A and B are shown apart, each in its own frame.
Chain A
Amino acid sequence: MLEEILTSYYAAIVDTDRSRALAVVHDAVAHGASPEEIVFHVVVPAIERTMQTISEAGDVNLAQHFMGSQIGAQVVEEMIPLFSTKPEMAGRIVLGTAAGDFHGLGKRIVAGCLKARMIDVLDLGLNVPAERFVDEAVAAGAQVIGISSMMVHTATSEHGARKVRHILRERKLEARLRIIVGGAAYRWDHDLYKTVEADAWAENGILAGEVVGALIREVLP
């Protein structure tokens, strides 16, 4: 039964059909699927199937990414309060676009993908100063700071990821906080994340889930 639900849900994501995807989930719950089964046997495997499609065919488009992440996040947020026991979240990230960058779509896709993987996301919005990234991460007890840049100059700027690294170093926070970067600028130069002194980068929201998960595990005791 769960395999059929997953197939129907994934087909709706591929067709960028939010109402059909949600109807599949709600219908499954009405017919006895548990909230835990929906998250761990439908939403997360759908993300993994998308990842497989990307790696095998390179063939998932922005609309599917966007819809998949938004629907996945919505379903997880809807299901978690219905879990029989309070679930343990995988970790926490603060996420925003670099100073001077006003392009939020990529960040939103990543946020959706991370939420769908049970990672707490604190979205700081657009044009986030480096100091705020660090202050909010510390206040929220996050393990990872995520910085999105669509434009090359906001990626390489002295006010973006580099400054976040500088502050982490200065405040001796590097052992407990990792930096991940992403966005169009990094997709066109796969070594750019090293130039800006980030710990890692991810090409898309789906892969970001994997990478952020690994960074969290590096930091958590």
Chain B
Amino acid sequence: MTTGMDRLAAAVTGGSSDRIPVFCNLLDQGARELGMPLREYYASGEHVAEAQLRMREKYGYDNVWSLFYVGKEAELLGPARIAFATDGPPNVEAFPLTTVEDIPCLVVPTDLRSHPAFEEPLRCLQILRREVGGRYPICAYITASMTLPAILLGMESWMELLLNGPTPLRDELLTKCSDFFRVEIAAYRDAGADILLYSNPFGSTDFLPMKLIEELSLPWMVRDLEPGGVAGVVYYCGSSRLNAVIPKVLARTGIAAYYLSPLDDLVEARRLVGDKVVLAGVINDIPLIGWPPECVREEVRRIVAAGMLGGRFLFGTLVMPLAIPEHNIRALLEAAFEFGRRDGGGGR
């Protein structure tokens, strides 16, 4: 039987398999799957792992996630207060750094394996590795040094510090965030994560002018990735566009996989990078809350048709809000499986 790892390997090498890889990020849906509130669900790595395994089995997509919620990284770096909702992802209510004056006091852990806030993600990874390791890619979400300050200080304060300085304090924070990134990516690799989604909205021209990306984002990306290399690393800018930066990121870092924004033109992306890198075509999944299934199917067909023209392609989702009804999750995935077939799928 063809596994998700087989499909991914075929996409990476340009080899053959039954269909393109289909990556789906159902996260909060895990709580519903286990019939428990989100707060209780996210308190346990066993819960997250069990739900990830169940949902992958139920829907048949090709990956599992070790990600709990994005604010989890803030908890690894200080006393963050997380607000849990009943109908959507947790978010950071109180940041680990209250003001920029706290930056000198920020302590970067040197080993996450013994960190209390990493215990449950580690437990989740161990279960995923035991159950599906080598058969289905295990994904981890790691925030780049240029973006991590947004969940340590808040977006407003980070934007102020980034653009207005003081520069020494900005660089001290970036150095600490980059040091943390290196520790974190090593911990995820050691624990068995195969795909390391390198999240960096501050490396998109939707966030910063190209001049700042060249002067700041790219050098910090090089520093983040230098010790461990780029194996398994996928460049991702949240929902922000990548096309304008892909050639520069590729040249400076060697990252060979890019998880596009729904706003990026897939054909243009392929033209920019040639046939050597993997591109993920990503659907804007927020309208799936209200679309009829035939619209979902048509949008998937459009993306897959554009992506399969260039090879080395996978289909992916963006945020998959909890409010998307079950029938649209199924419509999305069934369309991706069907149109992504190598034997005459291709969105035709």
- Give A contacts to B, CB under 8 Å: 14-16, 18, 61-64, 66-67, 100-105, 108, 127, 151-154, 156-157, 184-185, 188-189, 191-192, 195
The reply to whether A154 and B88 form a contact with Cβ atoms under 8 Å apart is: yes
Please indicate the chain A residues that have their CB under 8 angstroms from the CB of B275 in the complex: none
Within 8 A of A (CB), among B278-292: 284, 286-287, 289-290
The reply to whether A16 and B154 form a contact with Cβ atoms under 8 Å apart is: no
Residue of B nearest to A18 (CB): B164
Residue in A62, A103, A152, A154 whose CB lies within 8 Å of B286:
A152
A153-B209 contact, Cβ under 8 Å, with A185-B286, A195-B290: no
Residue in B91, B212, B321 whose CB lies within 8 Å of A103:
B91
Q: Chain B interface secondary structure, helix, strand, loop or mixed?
A: loop
Please indicate the chain B residues that have their CB under 8 angstroms from the CB of A14 in the complex: 209
Please indicate the chain B residues that have their CB under 8 angstroms from the CB of A18 in the complex: 163-164
Please indicate the chain B residues that have their CB under 8 angstroms from the CB of A151 in the complex: 88-89, 91
A61-B156 contact, Cβ under 8 Å, with A66-B163, A153-B88, A188-B239: no
Residue of A nearest to B318 (CB): A188
Please indicate the chain B residues that have their CB under 8 angstroms from the CB of A100 in the complex: 83, 85, 88
B159 at the interface (CB under 8 A from A): yes
The stretch that binds A, out of B54-62, B118-126, B174-182, B200-208, is: B200-208
B319 at the interface (CB under 8 A from A): yes
The reply to whether A153 and B85 form a contact with Cβ atoms under 8 Å apart is: yes
| Number of residues on chain B facing chain A (CB within 8 A) | 33
A136 smallest CB distance to B (angstroms): 21
The reply to whether B205 and A61 form a contact with Cβ atoms under 8 Å apart is: yes
The reply to whether B212 and A63 form a contact with Cβ atoms under 8 Å apart is: yes
Cβ proximity bits B225-265 to A, threshold 8 Å, 1 near / 0 not: 00000000000000100000000000000000000001000
Residue of B nearest to A156 (CB): B323
The reply to whether B92 and A152 form a contact with Cβ atoms under 8 Å apart is: no
A102 to B153, CA, bound (A): 12
The reply to whether A105 and B156 form a contact with Cβ atoms under 8 Å apart is: yes
B93 at the interface (CB under 8 A from A): yes
Please indicate the chain A residues that have their CB under 8 angstroms from the CB of B319 in the complex: 152
The reply to whether A153 and B212 form a contact with Cβ atoms under 8 Å apart is: no
A114 to B93, CA, bound (A): 26
The reply to whether A63 and B207 form a contact with Cβ atoms under 8 Å apart is: yes
Residue of A nearest to B154 (CB): A104
Please indicate the chain B residues that have their CB under 8 angstroms from the CB of A189 in the complex: 286-287, 289-290
The reply to whether B91 and A62 form a contact with Cβ atoms under 8 Å apart is: no
B87 at the interface (CB under 8 A from A): yes
Within 8 A of A (CB), among B69-115: 83, 85, 87-89, 91-93
Interface centre among A18, A108, A188, A192 (most CB of B within 10 A): A188
